[in-house]
Amino acid sequence: EANAQKTQEPDGVQRHLIGEIIRRFEKKGFKLVGMKLMQASEDLLKKHYIALCDRPFYTMVSTGQGETNPSDSRPGTIRGDFSIEVSKNVIHGSDSIESARREILLWFHTDKLTCWAESTEPWIYE
């Protein structure tokens, strides 16, 4: 069952940070179950950010756990290490499991997600 979602923002792609960010997630112990590179349509982005459509920053910022503003982000975090501007904060992370499920279904068909047994799982999780 998918319960987290992280996406590269266009600035992260343009700055060639995809590999570095995937490496950080893998080093942390997250399991990659689906990935694709695409240019999102305006319609898809509106559906994805529907909960933020009435906010003044709707057209320029992602939401997620942690600080949205890079200047408030801790060193060692993706935004703390790679971002300077709020509108160029490199990565989107879902703000809840419910949001992640909704957002994942916008981007992926569930039959395209690969659930696999991670051999290191007992070494990472209790």
**The length of the chain, given as a count of residues:** 126
Catalytic residue among 16, 48, 92, 109: 92
The token pair at 68 is 């949205």
Query: pLDDT per residue over 38-69, tens digit each?
Result: 787 888 878 877 766 665 544 443 334 567 77
In the chain, the domains with their CATH numbers are 6-123 (3.30.70.141)
Task: Give the DSSP letter of residue 74.
Answer: P
**Mean per-residue pLDDT, 99-125:** 81
Secondary structure E strands in 17-116: 91-93
The token pair at 51 is 């909960």
Predicted confidence (pLDDT) at residue 111 exceeds the cutoff of 50: yes
pTM given for the model: 0.59
Write down the residue that tokens 């916008």 correspond to.
106
**Mean per-residue pLDDT, 92-103:** 82
- 73: how many CB neighbours lie within 10 A of its CB? 19
User: Chain-wide mean pLDDT for the chain?
Assistant: 76
- Local confidence band at 20 (pLDDT 50, 70, 90 cut-offs): very high
Q: Confirm whether 92 is a catalytic residue.
A: yes
State which of 19-33, 64-78, 112-126 shows the largest mean pLDDT.
19-33
CB 18 within 8 A of CB 8: yes
How distant, in Å, are the alpha carbons of 48, 68, 86, 105 from that of 41?
A: 11, 23, 22, 15
